């Protein structure tokens, strides 16, 4: 499936229906068509149709749902558009860096890009639903973009990636390291990770979930999962605490 066909644009609680129409137009100019609206304040409207111009088909086939859960139910990779989390740091990248992540996903992975309200963006809870956050590096003195403009910029970058892929112009390289600014805890070391994985395997043995006589690829897949998460020390300590509690319960302590 074409990359652009796998990308869903999600607009949350849009207050101005004209922005919905403009977003639909931005999507169509870049070759995207999957639009989902979460609890829009006004839709459908003549204003939205007028602003969509030649993209009325994208607008009319847009899904309207009540919750973000419904919009993301079948998505495997979720990007949220925001400057940064307002409680704890989260991996933040530019649209072009987001493309590198997308290019290294499985060819059939379903993707969502979530855009927030015109006046307040995405809430912290909504941001937590996203694997990564995209920040458009605008003018520091005035970095605010209209939601349809933000849709245009990000969809443009995705289109460039799709065209390059179709033309086999660029190889599929490794994911570039994420720049995580002002992280509140040091990332776990390789040694910490090995100790955690040993603890995890022993816990699986204790609860009878892991059979070493028939290991299949369980620990290999578990290692891939946890290495991908890039846990910091506090997060790893949390997980080690959970595992220790499980072991105590199994042993009747």
Give the residue extent of every domain in the chain.
3-166, 190-250
Q: How far is it between the farthest Cα atoms of the chain? A: 67
Instruction: Give pLDDT tens digits for 126-169.
Output: 988 898 899 999 888 887 889 999 999 999 999 999 998 887 65
Instruction: Give pLDDT tens digits for 8-34.
Output: 999 999 999 999 999 999 999 999 999
Q: What is the C-alpha radius of gyration for the chain, rounded to an integer number of angstroms?
A: 21
Kindly report whether the peptide bond that precedes residue 44 is cis, defined as omega within 30 degrees of 0. yes
Instruction: Give pLDDT tens digits for 160-191.
Output: 999 988 876 545 566 665 555 556 788 898 89
HSE (CB half, 13 Å, CA atoms) of 62? 31
CATH architecture entry for 190-250: Orthogonal Bundle (1.10)
Quote the pLDDT of residue 65: 97
HSE (CB half, 13 Å, CA atoms) of 34? 18
Can you tell me the distance from the alpha carbon of 76 to that of 6, in angstroms, rounded to the nearest whole number? 10
Quote the pLDDT of residue 170: 47
Reported as a pLDDT band with limits 50, 70 and 90, residue 1 is confident
Reported as a pLDDT band with limits 50, 70 and 90, residue 228 is confident
Question: What's the rounded mean pLDDT across residues 239-248?
Answer: 96
Can you tell me the distance from the alpha carbon of 242 to that of 236, in angstroms, rounded to the nearest whole number? 10
Same fold, 3-166 and 190-250: no
Instruction: Give pLDDT tens digits for 58-114.
Output: 999 999 999 999 999 999 999 999 866 556 677 889 999 999 999 888 888 999 999
Q: Is the dihedral of CA 57, 61, 63, 64 positive or negative?
A: positive
Tell if the pTM clears 0.85, that is, is over it: no
Pair 34, 9: CB distance under 8 Å: yes
pLDDT above 80: residue 245: yes
pLDDT above 80: residue 202: yes
Domain 3-166 has CATH 3.40.1280.10: yes
């Amino acid at each position: 499936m074409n990359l652009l066909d796998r990308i869903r644009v999600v607009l949350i609680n849009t207050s101005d229906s004209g922005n919905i129409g403009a977003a639909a137009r931005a999507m169509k100019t870049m070759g995207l068509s999957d639009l989902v609206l979460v609890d829009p304040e006004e839709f459908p409207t003549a204003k939205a149709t007028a602003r969509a111009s030649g993209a009325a088909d994208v607008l009319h086939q847009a899904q309207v749902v009540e919750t973000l859960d419904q919009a993301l139910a079948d998505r495997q990779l979720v990007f949220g558009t925001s400057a940064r989390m307002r409680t704890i740091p989260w991996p933040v990248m530019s649209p072009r860096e987001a493309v590198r992540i997308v290019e290294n996903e499985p060819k059939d992975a379903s993707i969502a890009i979530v855009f927030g309200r015109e006046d307040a963006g995405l809430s912290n809870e909504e941001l937590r639903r996203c694997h990564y956050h995209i920040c458009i590096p605008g003018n520091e003195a005035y970095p605010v973009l209209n939601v349809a403009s933000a849709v245009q910029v990000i969809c443009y970058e995705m289109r460039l990636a799709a065209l390059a892929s179709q033309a086999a112009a660029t190889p599929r390289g490794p994911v570039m390291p994420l720049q995580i600014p002002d992280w509140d805890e040091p990332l776990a070391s390789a040694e910490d990770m090995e100790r955690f994985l040993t603890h995890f395997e022993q816990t699986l043995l204790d609860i009878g979930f892991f059979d070493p006589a028939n290991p299949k690829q369980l620990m290999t897949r578990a290692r891939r999962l946890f290495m991908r998460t890039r846990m910091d020390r506090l997060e790893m300590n949390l997980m080690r605490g959970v595992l220790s509690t499980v072991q105590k319960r199994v042993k009747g302590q």
